[in-house]
Amino acid sequence: MCAAIAAAAIMPLVLFIVFCLAAGPKWSARNAVEVGITITRGCIVAIAVVLSLSSMP
């Protein structure tokens, strides 16, 4: 379970880095922030799902 939570916590950072590298130098800071917020929200949902599933009998 700890590994799943750790993976869910690390994923947004990895996705953000990959996304920024793929976007290249034309990428604006504003768009990067919006993408970061969206990925972080998804991560929070993923952690909540993992925790709720792990607490089920």
Query: Residues 11-16: what's their mean pLDDT?
Result: 77
Please tell me the least confidently modeled range out of 15-19, 22-26, 44-48.
22-26
pLDDT score, position 27: 65
56 three-state secondary structure: coil
Q: Is the pLDDT of residue 11 over 70?
A: yes
Q: Residue 20 CB: number of other CB atoms within 10 A?
A: 14
Q: Is the pLDDT of residue 50 over 70?
A: yes
Q: How many structural domains is the chain composed of?
A: 1
* Domain ranges, residue 25: 2-55
pLDDT score, position 25: 65
pTM across the whole model: 0.49
